[in-house]
Structure 1
Amino acid sequence: MSKQKLFRFLLLNFLLVTLFSTSTLAQSRNYFPPEDLTSVGAYYYPEHWDESQWERDIKKMAEMGFEFTHFAEFAWAQLEPEEGVYDFSWLDRAVALADKYNLKVVMCTSTATPPVWLVRKHPDILKQHEDGTKMDHGSRQHASFSNEYYRSYSLKMIEELAQHYGNDDRIFGWQLDNEPAANVDFGDDAQKRFRAWLKEKYGNIEALNDAWGTNFWSGTYTTFDQINIPKHTQWGMNLYQRLDHSRFCDYETSSFLDDQAVVIRQFANPNQWITTNYIPYYDARYAGASKELDFISYTRYMIYGEHHGIGPKGYRVGEYSRIAMANDFYRPLSPIYGVMELQPGQVNWGSINSQPLPRAVRLWLWHVFAGGSKFTFTYRFRAPIYGYEQYHYGIVGPDGVTPTPGGLEYEAFIKEIKMLRNNPSKGQIPQDYLNRETAILYDPDNTVAINNNKQTNVWDTEGHVLKYYKALKTFGAPVDFIRDSMDFAKYPVIVAPAYQQMSLQLIDKLTEYVKNGGNLVMSVRTGHQDEFGHLWQAKHAEPLYELIGGEIEFYDLLRPFAPDTVVMDNKRYAWTSWGDIMHTNKGTESWGTFSGDYYAGKTAVTFNKLGNGTVTYVGVDSHDGKLERAVLDKLYDRLAIEVKDYPEGVMVEYRDGYGIAVNYSNIAYPMELPAGTEILIGNTTLPTAGVLVWKTK
C-alpha cells in the first residue's frame, strides 16, 4: 500500500469517527428537552445496603430534587451469581422504588467488575502486564477487552440485561462500563488481535515496514506473525510500533463499547440513549471513536491533592481549567454531552484528600452547566461504609440520612436550575462574545507521538496547550477543540499548538483557510513531521514556509539551570524547553527575538499576511505562558477583535440566553454587565467560589 493510499485509508477512518457527532445529534435531540436546561442525578448502589433502607434513601433523593438515579454499575456478581443464572428480581424492586418517586434510571453494564467465578474459571481474561504477571479479582478494570472469551461472554450478560430492561420506560438510558481507558494487555489474545489489527490497517507487510521505517536498525519484518506487542520498558523500541500499539489499545476500548451498544440496541426502545463516562485524558483516541454511542459523557474530580489552584488555599477550589477544558474538548465531538460523575465533596483515593471550600461543589456544577452540559450526575448518593472508597463523601453521610455540605450544595443548584426553568431567557448571545470564538486544532494521536519522543524532559505537551487555552479563557473567548476533518471556516482564529504531525492535505487546508480570511496561530513543534511521523525529506518543517513567511533554521533545547529569554515589545519572557530559531522573508513581521545566546537577535515570533488572512508563528515555549498570552493579545488587537481581560480563574460563558460567571481565583472580582441586565443568581461582586447568572438582552 502506498503512502497516498494509506493516508486515504486513515483519513476515511478518521472521518467516520468525527462524523459520529453529526450522526448522533439527530438521534439525541429528544432525550433532553431544551426547556429543562439541565438535569441532575445521583448514583445509588442498592446491593450495598439493606433492602429495608432502599425506600428511605430513594425517597430522600427525590425530596432533594434529583431527577435521575443510576444502578448496576458494579453489580455483575449480583446480576449473575453463577454462570448462566441471572437474578434481576432485586434490581426490579429498586427500579420500582425509583419509579414510585419519579426518578428515571440510568442502567449500567457491569463490565468493569466481572464476578469471581468467571475469573477463576477463565483466568486468561485477566490483563497481563509486560513482565508476565497478571491482575487478579478484587479490583476493577482487571479484565482485558482484548480477551476473546471475555468479550463474547460479557455480551451475553449484557444481552440478558438489555432483554429485561430494553423496553422498560422507567429506564432513561444506558451507561457502558465505567471510566473505560485504553486497554493495555500483553496476553496471548491481545497479541493475536494486535497482529490482526495491523494487517487490517496496512494490508501488506511492505506498507507496514515503510510506515514504521523498519530499515533502521535492521528492524524489517517479512510477515505479520513476526510482530510482537512492543516492550515499553525496552530502550530504543521502534517509535512507530509503539505508536501503533497505543492506537490499537484505544481501538480495543472503543470497539468493545461499540459491541455493547449494538447488543443493547437490539432490545432498547428508541427513547433510551447509550453513553459511557470517560475520564478526560487528552492523549486518548477512544473518546469519540465509538460510533454506536448516542453522545459522550465525562467524569470530573477537582480536589484530590494533585492541583494547587490559585493562591495558598486554591487547592480547596481546584484547577480552574479542568472543567472548562473538558467541556470545550468533548462538546465539538458530541454536541449533546453530560457529566456522569462530579465530585460531591471530599474523596478518599487521592494523594491528599482535602475538604473543598464551601460553595466549591456548587461552583463546579455551574461551571459544568456553563459549558452546555445536558445533565450532571454525582458519585454517589450515600457515602460508602466499607470497601476501597471508605471516607468518600456522598450526598448524604454514612448514616444514610444527614446531607453532607456538598449534598446541600447539590440541592441548592437543583433549586436554582428549577428557578431558571420558570424564568426562561430569550436573550441572544452577545455579538462580541461570538466574535471571539476560537478553535484549538488538536489531535490526541499527535500528543501521544510527541510524548513518545519528547527530545527534552522538561517538555509538557498538555501544559503547552494550556498556555494558549488559558489565555483565550481570560479573553472571555468561547473555545472549541477541533479535529482536522472539521469545518475551519466558522472560526475567526484557529490555534494549532505543537501540532507536530501534519499531512500535506492538512497544510493545504490550513493555507486555504488563511487565504480566505482566517487567522492561524501555530507554535513550536508544529509541522515538523508528515502524518506518518517521519521528518520531511526537505528543510526542517519546509512545507510550512509559505504559511509562516520564513524558515525555521534550527531548534534548540535549553538546560533547566540555564534558561534564556525572548524579547517582544521590550519585555523579556523566559524559556527553556523548546525554541524554533527562525529567518523571516521580506514582508513578514518579526514580533519577538531571542536574546542571551549565540543566536541572539534571531526571530522567535513571526506575523505573516497571506491572502486575506494571517499566520502567527510562536517559536518558543515560555516558562509561564505569559509570552503566549502577549502574542494572542497583540494578534487580537491587530485583528480588531474585542477581548475581555478577566483575571486568571474567572470564567465567563453563555448558553440558552444566560450568562454565567464563576470565580476560582483567591480574590473577589467585580463583574461589569451591560446596562439593563437582569441578575438572577449572585451579584456583580464575584467572591472566591462565587457564581453569577444573568439574563442576556
Structure 2
Amino acid sequence: MKLLYTFLFASVLFLSSVAQNSNPWFDDAQLTTVGAYYYPEHWNEAQWDRDLKKMSEMGFEFTHFAEFAWAQIEPEEGVYDFGWLDRAMEIADKYHLKVVMCTSTATPPVWLVRKYPEVLKTNEDGTMMDHGSRQHASFSSNFYRNYSLKMIEELAKHYGSDERIIGWQLDNEPYTNTDYGPDAQQRFRDWLKNKYGTINALNKAWGTNFWSGTYTDFSQINIPKHRQWGMNLYQRLDHGRFCDEETSSFLDDQAKVIRKYTLPGQWITTNYIPYYDARYIGQSKDLDFITYTRYMVYGEHPGIGLKGYRVGEYSRIAMANDYFRPLSPLYGVMELQPGQVNWGTIDSQPLPGAVRLWLWHVFAGGSKLTCTYRFRAPIYGYEQYHYGIVGTDGVTPTPGGLEFQKFMKEINTLRDAYTGAGVPQEYLNRKSAILYDPDNTAAINQNKQTRLWDTEGHVLKYYKALKSFGAPVDFIRDTMNFSTYHVIVIPAYQQMSRSVIQKLTDYVKNGGNVVMSCRTAHQDEFGHLWEARHAEPIYDLIGAEIEFYDLLREYASDTIVTAEGKFAWTTWGDILKPKTGTESWGSYSGDFYAGKTAVTFHKLGKGAVTYVGADSNAGDLELSMLKKVYNRISIDIENYPPGIIVEYRDGFGIALNYSDKPYEMTVPESDIVIGEKSIPTAAVLVWKL
C-alpha cells in the first residue's frame, strides 16, 4: 500500500509539472511544429518565392533566417541593411511560414576582424584564428562582446515587434569559449577573484602547497597550459568552468538586449550540440528554453547489425531528449539531419525511413519543435554534398525531404486524434532519474586513472538498461527535487558534497531507492580526496566499506559472479566490505581478492541503496542488477531488446525500431493511428491510448 501511495503521489507531481509547463509559445493541441533553415543570401532573389512556396507546400510551418548573415546585415561598420531580409520576410509570410530570427555572432564580417583583430581567438600555442571559418571570434574579447550586442540591438529594434517572428535563436551551436588572448587572461583572473574572494581561499581549493604552486596575488595566475604535463588539475578544471561561463553569459547578454524589444509571444533559445561534459548547457538563465542539434549517420556509430550505421545509435536522440528536457521548461530540436552529410568520417546514405524515424523519436521525447538544416542543398562553400530538403537543383525533394513531408502529414493526423489524454500509470510507475553533473564528468575525464575508462560509455550502460525497461528517464542535477522519482541511478559521480550525501540519505530513508556505481563519492565537491578512509562519507549510506579499487589491463579481464550469472569486467572495480545486514549480490573471482564483494544491497529506512562496484565490459552486469532492484521493489518493467524505444506523450504511444530485425508490439489494432504492430527496421508505430 505504501508503494502504491508513493507511485500515485509521484504521478500527481509528474502531471502537475506537465501542467505547469504550459507556455505562451506553443499550443498543446498543435503537438509540435516543424521548420527548415533557409539562407536568402545564398540564392538569387528571383528564386526566393519559388523556394519558400515549395517549403510551405511540403508542410513546413516555419523557416529560419540570418544565422550566418552578419556581413549582409552590417556590410560596413555602423551601416545596416535590413531591406533584403524584409523582402524575404514578406515572402515567408505570403506562404504562411513563421520565422525564427537568428543572431549572427558565429560569423563576424571580415571588416570587423581586420579592423579589430583583437576579437579573434588566440590558441594555446600563441597563433590566432582568422576570418573565413566560424566561431573564430572570442566571447572573452571585451570589444567583441560589446560590439556584437550593438548589431543585435539593431536587429531586435527592427524585428522585435514583428508578429511574423515566433522566436529568436542566439548564435549557432555555441560551445566552450577557449581563448588565450589578453582579455581572456584578465577575465579569467577577475572570474577567479569573484569566485574565491581571497587568494588564500583559491590556494586552499587548488591545493597549491603541492609542488610549490602557491600564489600570493591573482595577477600571478595565468590561463593553464592544458598540454603541459602536470598542470594543476583544479586550475584546469576552473579554467574549463570559466570558458563555459563565458559562453553562457554571452548568450544571456544577447537575450537581455533582444528582450527589450520583443513581443511577449516571441521566445528566445539557442541550439546546443549535446556534449555531456559541457557546463554551459542549461547555464544561461535568460533563455526561454533550450534546443539541441542532432546528426545520426556520419560514420561514427555502427548501430545494430551489419547495416546499423545507416540508422544510427539508438541512444543518441533518446539521451539528448532526456538530458535536455529536465533543464528547460520545454525543449526542441533546431537542427536535425535531413539526409546524407558532408563533414563526417564516412558520409553514408541513411537507410530509407531513418530520417522519419529520427523525427518521430524527437517527438516521442516531448519536443515542441523540430527544424532541419537545411531546405536547399548548398552548391558552394564548406558544406557541399550536404543534403537538404530539396537537392542542388533547388526543386527536387530529396529522400529525406519526402520523409519530412510524410512526418508532417502524420502529425496532422495526430492533431485530429488529439484528446489531451495523459500517459499510462504503469509508465509513470517506472519513472526514473540519473543523477548527473557535467562538471563531474569533466573532472573525471582529466584524471581517468586508466586509458580504458569512458565516462559517457559507463553512463550509457545504465541508461540503456532503463530504456529497455520502458522507463521514462530524466537526467537531473543534485539541486533538483529527488522525491518525484522512485529510483535514482548515480553512475560514477566522483565528486559529491556531504550535503548531497545527506540529501540522498534522507531520500532513501523516506522510501527512495538509489543505485550507485563505481567511482562515486571518492572525492568531495572540490575534487579533493577525503581526509578519511577511501570514500568513507558514503559508508553508512551504502552499508559497506570500499576497501580499495582495482584497474585491470585490457588483456586481463576478470569476472564478477552473481546469482544471475557471470560478468566480465576490466576498467574499474571497487572492492567492497559489507556491513552487518547488508546483502552481497556479487563477488569478484580470478584475482587475489577473489570472493570479495562487488555488489551490495542495503536497506535504509523505507528505501534501499544498491552499490554496483564494477564497470562491466558489456553493460550486462548493470542491466542484471537494475532488473534485480526493480523486481525487489515491485516495479513492473518491460524487456525491450536493444534498439527498441517506447515512449508516451499527449495520449499517444510511440514505438521506434533501430534494431536490425522486425519487432512485434502488443497493441490493439483499433488503437493504431500510424504503422503496423510488426515494426520493421527504421519504422514507427503510433497508437492512441
Name the counterpart of 2:661.
667
Q: In the alignment, what sits opposite 2:242?
A: 248
Secondary structure of the corresponding residue to residue 417 of structure 2: coil
**How far did 1:123 drift?**
1.0
Give 1:96 deviation, angstroms.
0.4
Residue 60 (structure 2) aligned to one of 55, 59, 66: 66
Write the mapping of 1:627-642 to structure 2, written as runs, cut at 5 A: 627-642=621-636
Residue aligning to 1:139: 133
Q: 1:399 to 1:201 in 2, by over 3 A?
A: same
After superposition, the C-alpha distances for 1:574-593 in whole angstroms (9 at most, x for unaligned) are: 11110000101111000000
Distance in 2 (alpha carbons) for counterparts of 1:491 and 1:570: 26
Distance 2:329 2:433 in 1: 15
Query: Quick one: which amino acid aligns to residue 170 of structure 1?
Result: R
- In the TM superposition, residue 676 of structure 1 has moved relative to its aligned partner by 7.3
Name the CA distance, whole Å, in 1 between partners of 2:118 and 2:559: 55
Aligned equivalent of 1:399: 393
Distance 2:505 2:288 in 1: 34
Shift in Å, 1:30: 1.4
- Contact map agreement 2:21 2:329 (CA 8 A) in 1: no
Query: What does the per-residue CA deviation read over 1:613-664, in whole Å, with 9 as the maximum and x for residues that have no partner?
Result: 0000000000010000000011111111100000100000000010000000
Question: CA separation in 1, counterparts of 2:669 and 2:640?
Answer: 21
Any gaps of 5 or more consecutive residues in structure 1?
Answer: 1-21
Comparing 177-186 and 329-338, the one that deviates more? 329-338
Q: Distance in 1 between matches of 2:71 and 2:21?
A: 33
CA displacement 1:11-46 (0-9 Å, x = unmatched):
xxxxxxxxxxx9999797010000100000000000
Partner amino acid for 1:690?
Answer: A
User: Which amino acid in structure 2 is aligned with residue 633 of structure 1?
Assistant: K
Q: 5 Å matches for 1:111-510?
A: 111-510=105-504
- Judging changes above 3 Å, is the alpha-carbon distance between structure 1 residues 147 and 426 closer, same or farther for their aligned structure 2 residues? closer
1:587-666 equivalences in 2 (<5 Å): 587-666=581-660
Q: What is the CA–CA distance in structure 2 between the aligned matches of 1:624 and 1:155, rounded to whole Å?
A: 49
**Letter of the structure 2 residue corresponding to residue 482 of structure 1:** I
2:491 maps to a residue whose letter is P
Counterparts of 2:291 and 2:22, CA distance in 1: 13
Match of residue 692 from structure 1: 685
Aligned CA distance change for structure 1 residues 24 and 384 (closer, same or farther; 3 Å): farther
Distance 1:548 1:572 in 2: 23
SS of equivalent residue, structure 1 residue 30: coil
**Paired position in structure 2 for 1:109:** 103
Whole-angstrom CA distance in 2 between matches of 1:573 and 1:145: 48
Q: Is the 8 A contact 1:318 1:664 kept in 2?
A: yes
Whether 1:547 and 2:538 are equivalent positions in the alignment is no
Counterpart of 1:679, as a letter, is: I
Contact 1:24 1:294 in 2 (8 A): no
Summarize the Cα distance change of 1:550–1:24 in structure 2 as closer, same or farther, 3 Å threshold. closer
Q: Deviation digits for residues 71-125 of structure 1, max 9, x if unmatched?
A: 0000000001111111000000000000011100000000000000000111111
In structure 2, what is the Cα distance between the partners aligned to 1:572 and 1:656?
Answer: 42
| 2-structure distance, mates of 1:43, 1:147 | 29
- Give the counterpart letter for 2:195 in structure 1: K
Could you tell me how far apart the structure 1 residues matched to 2:567 and 2:22 are?
Answer: 47
- Secondary structure of 1:331's aligned partner: helix
TM-score (norm 2): 0.97
SS in 2 for 1:353: coil
The ranges of structure 1 where at least 4 consecutive aligned residues each deviate by more than 2 angstroms after the TM superposition are: 22-28, 425-428
Q: SS at 2:256's partner residue? A: helix
Q: Are residues 1:526 and 2:496 paired?
A: no
Partner of 2:29: 35
> Letter of the aligned partner of 1:678 in structure 2?
D
Match of 2:671 among 661, 666, 678: 678
CA deviation string 1:562-581 (max 9, x = no partner): 11111111521111110000
> SS where residue 90 of structure 2 aligns?
helix
Contact 1:27–1:294 (CA<8 Å) still a contact in 2? no
Distance in 2 between residues matched to 1:290 and 1:26, nearest whole Å: 21
Identity percentage over the alignment?
A: 74
Q: What is the CA–CA distance in structure 1 between the aligned matches of 2:592 and 2:192, rounded to whole Å?
A: 46
Q: Distance in 2 between matches of 1:552 and 1:197?
A: 37
Residue 567 (structure 1) aligned to one of 561, 575, 578: 561
Question: Is the CA contact (8 Å cut-off) linking 1:458 and 1:577 kept in structure 2?
Answer: yes
Partner of 1:9: none
Query: What is the CA distance between 1:335 and its match in structure 2?
Result: 3.0
- Cα distance 1:434–1:466, how it changes in 2: closer, same or farther (>3 A)? same
Question: Residues 273 and 370 (structure 1 numbering): CA distance in 2 closer, same or farther, change over 3 Å?
Answer: same
**In the alignment, is the contact (CA less than 8 A) between 1:564 and 1:575 conserved in 2?**
yes
Alignment check: 8 A CA contact 2:422 2:649 kept: no
Question: What is the aligned residue count?
Answer: 674
SS of residue in 2 equivalent to 1:29: coil
Give the letter aligned to residue 338 of structure 1. Answer: G
Q: Distance in 2 between matches of 1:690 and 1:23?
A: 31
Rounded to whole Å, the distance in 2 between the matches of 1:267 and 1:147 is: 25
1:420-463 deviation line (CA, Å, top 9, x unaligned): 11111344311111111100000000000000100000000000
Q: In structure 2, what is the Cα distance between the partners aligned to 1:443 and 1:162?
A: 34
3-state SS of 2:326 partner: coil
Query: Alignment RMSD, CA only?
Result: 1.3
Distance change >3 Å, CA 28–CA 75, structure 1 → 2? farther
CA distance 1:293–1:28, shift in 2 (3 Å):
farther
CA contact (8 A) 2:21 2:330 kept: no
- Picking from 75, 90, 103, the partner of 1:81 is 75
The structure-2 alpha-carbon separation of the partners of 1:157 and 1:25, relative to structure 1 and needing over 3 Å to count, comes to farther
